[in-house]
Each structure stands twice: as structure tokens, then as C-alpha cells.
A and B are shown apart, each in its own frame.
Chain A
Amino acid sequence: MMRYEITCTVNDTPVKFEVEPWDTLLHVLRDKLGLTGTKYGCGTGDCGACTVLVDGEPYVACLTLAVRMKGRSIETVEGLAKEGVLHPLQRAFIEYGALQCGYCTPGLLMAAKALLAKNPHPTRADVQIAIAGNICRCTGYKKVIEAIQAAPTLVG
């Protein structure tokens, strides 16, 4: 099996790994790099639990080949807090009770971060469209939507 050495950054840290062509980014993050914050939910891009940012875009890592990540900048949930200081989205989720079991939370946070970067003051409908691909079974989405809309006000 051909192996390819890929260099990229994960959460602002240069990273190098060796993969076979069909290895997914999800597998690399979780099993090679030990970053298990990004979750396996379905493996077919239907649930969004594996959402990570690749150059700021929300990718489902289960359908992203690791070998295509050369030179790309990947962000996972582990990179949101900086030196222990939570990202405003993380603070908002906690304050608004937007997480219960926490399994879909990393994927939701990354999709929300991508949304707020493009649209700092999303309407409720904007949020719903942005996170339509993130299935949550616990919260009923209400507090998630509220938290995402509130996060920009928590900056600083």
C-alpha cells in the first residue's frame, strides 16, 4: 500500500503524518493524532459530528481524505480555547445550556465558528441553515441557536 507523507497545520501547530490514499481525515485526527474531540457519528457525512474547519470551511472529516490535506490549515474543537481561555462560542454554549451529552458539540462549535466568520450577526434562519447538517438529539436545537446568536456579544 502506497503511503504519503502529509504536512499541514492542525490548530496552528505544524503536523506531519503518513497515510494511505483512502484514509479519512477523521481517522487521522482521532487515531493517529489522538485528537478525539472530533467524533464518529455515522461515517457517511449525514450527522455532522465530525465537522472540522479546513481553511475556514466546515468539512465533514469522515468524507475528507487525509491525503488531500497537504498545506491546509485544519481547526478542530481542541484548538478553540487559547491557553485555557474559552472561545466566545464555547462560553456561549455553556452559558446558554446549549449542550447536554456533548457528543455533537464539537462538530456544532466548528460549524458555528465558520458561520460567524462569514456572518457575524446571523439571523435565526441563517443559523438553522448553517447547522442543518449537525444532528443533535438531546437539545432540540433551541439553546444551540440562541447560543450561536449570542456568541458575538460575548467577545472580550
Chain B
Amino acid sequence: MMNGSMYFEPTEIEEALELLSRYGNDARLMAGGTDLIIDVTEGRVAEGHIINLMSIDSTSKITGENGLCIGATVLLDSIEHSPRIIDEFQMLSEAASVVGSWQIRVLGTMGGNMCNALPCADTAPPLYAADAVIEIAGQSGRRVVPAESFILAPRKNVLEPGEMLVGFRLPKAPRRTGSVFVKHIFRKALDMTIISLAVAVTLDARSDVIRRARVALGSAAPTPIRTRQAEAVLEGNMLTEELAREAADLVVGECRVHDSPIRASAEYRRDVIRVLARRCIQEAVRRAGQHERGGSDDEV
């Protein structure tokens, strides 16, 4: 037990950064706290000075005219129910809706989910599939990294000492875009993810040719990943059963799963990835197709 742990509740990002810099290794940035408190209780992380980020107004909102800005401390429950997110990035709402339980979703944040940097981070695949970028603030100013580059390894993210994640920017998706997220678990709730998949597909304005495809997975490699070969084989083509299967095989090829006696074997995961990738690609195309044809490809 650490002597003299302190608690801070900054209301501005700059205040938080100042505290972070002052306390260095003893600083504990906390959003929902659901992962961090368990880490401390179970001895993986020592107690330290708590910097509670939930009073910072500027990171707690969903805004944006052209695309979406989601603050780091927006609750998963809010992401799940946000009408804009449901409308424009359905896969993200779906992912938020299956993190833990309702109790976890009203405490937890996407910022926390990503900073925890686990391969099973459920919000990662949709962020990757949305070409999201992550806004980072540090003493020397702001920088932006692709969401895909944020997680380096299990429990290791790209933040340098003195930096914090402040927000997510998702570029506006073209009109004929459909997306879907699936989390594969054995029970119907609460399990740690065995495989998760986010697929976003944009169809041509006037035909059903796939103009753009994004396929991202969680728990399929040491970090969440995008599978670009599969995306490449889809783009420029109309979806057929055969093409979906071909793409799904490519997805499997790009994954690096391992055996987990508690969750599932590598072989099972590959089998499930193949099936779910095919189904998700088909579903994403179906959802995209629900937007009527017409107009130009530049329309958003």
C-alpha cells in the first residue's frame, strides 16, 4: 500500500497533463477505472496518484459536422445509444453494446478500452474499420495517430510518458456504407472475446460494386488488426458467395491466433473467423445496399 496516494479531478486537459508530468510514474490516469482498479487489487499495478479524467468537459462529448469526434471519456453506454453513431457507424454502437455488462458500460469509456491495449478490446475493430484517428495530447502539444497504430502489443500503447488519449476522430462515411460488428463468445454475455470482427463496406453510388471495404478483428492476433488482403480482393467487385468465401479465407490467413485453454484453440478461432468474416461481409454489404442507389460517389 502506497503512502500518500492523492486524488485529483482536473477539469481541463492541460491540468491533467500538468499532473501527469508532475507525478510521472506514480500518476494513474483513470477514466472508468474498471480495468485499473482490478489491476491494482490483483497486484499488477501499484497504487498511485489518481488523476480522474471524468470531469474534463472537452473529452466527454460526441460532436462533429463532417464525421464524428468522440471524446476519450465518453461512456460506452453513450456510444451504444448515440443516434449519430447508430446511424453512421453502426458497428461501433454494436461493439460498445457488448462490452462487459450494463454496469461496466455506464462506467467504462472507449478511451480506457483502447489505452488498456488488449487484443480483445472490443472498440478497436470498429475504430480500425472506420479509419479512425486518435488524438493525443502531451506537454508539447497535440498529435494524431491512426487508431490502427495506437496499440503496439498487449497492454502496450503508443503513448509516451506525459501523454494522454483525448479523442477519436472518425471520418464521415460515404452514404452507401454499411457496417457490422460481431463478438463471438460461448455464453451470451460476459465472456472475454474469443473473436470479434468489424466490417464496413461502401458500395458504389449507382451499382452494388464494393468501392471500399474494411475488415478488422479483435482477439485474432497479439493486437487488433486490419486484414488488407481481404479488403483488396473485395474492392472493385460485386459480392458473390464465392467472393465472400475467398475474402474470408484471406482474413484467416492474415490472423495470428494462438491456443488459449481458457477461451479457445487456434484452430477453432480460425474456423470461426472464416465463417464470421463471410457472414459479416455479407451483412455489411446488405446494410450498405439498404441505402438507395443514386447520386454520385462523392456524396456523403
Contacts and interface: CB of A to CB of B under 8 A. Distances in A.
Contact of B107 (A48, A60, A67): A60
A148 interface: no
Contacts of B189: 129, 132-133
A131 B4 CA distance: 38
Given A63-B38, A132-B189, A2 B7 contact: yes
Contact of B103 (A1, A21, A48): A48
A133 B5 contact: no
Contact of A59 (B50, B100, B106): B106
A58 B50 contact: no
A3 B70 CA distance: 34
A30 to B, nearest CB: 16
Interface in A80-119: 111, 114
A64 B107 contact: yes
Contacts of B41: 43-44
B221 interface: no
Contact of A21 (B5, B54, B102): B5
B6 interface: yes
| A2, A21, A46, most chain B CB atoms within 10 A | A21
Nearest to B50: A21
A22 B52 contact: no
Contacts of A57: 77, 106
B47 interface: yes
Interface size class of B (residues with CB under 8 A): 20 to 34
Given A22-B47, A65-B50, A133 B104 contact: yes
B190 interface: yes
Q: Which of B6, B30, B49 has the most CB of A within 10 A?
A: B6
Interface string B21-62: 000000000100110011011100001011010100000000
Contacts of A22: 5, 37, 40, 47, 50
B260 interface: no
B37 A133 contact: no
B3 interface: yes
B5 A45 contact: no
B101 interface: yes
Contacts of A46: 190
B7 A45 contact: no
Given A44-B38, A45-B104, A58-B103, A68 B5 contact: no
A111 B106 contact: no
29 contacts: A2-B4, A2-B5, A2-B6, A20-B5, A21-B5, A21-B6, A21-B7, A21-B49, A21-B50, A22-B37, A22-B40, A22-B47, A24-B37, A45-B34, A51-B103, A57-B77, A58-B103, A60-B103, A65-B7, A65-B33, A65-B50, A67-B52, A68-B52, A114-B102, A129-B102, A130-B102, A131-B102, A132-B102, A134-B101
Given A1-B1, A2-B7, A21-B49, 13 more contacts: A1-B4, A22-B40, A44-B41, A45-B101, A58-B102, A63-B38, A63-B107, A64-B33, A67-B7, A68-B52, A111-B102, A129-B102, A130-B102
Report the 5 A-B pairs with minimum CB-CB distance, sorted nearest first. Answer: A133-B101, A132-B189, A21-B7, A57-B106, A60-B103
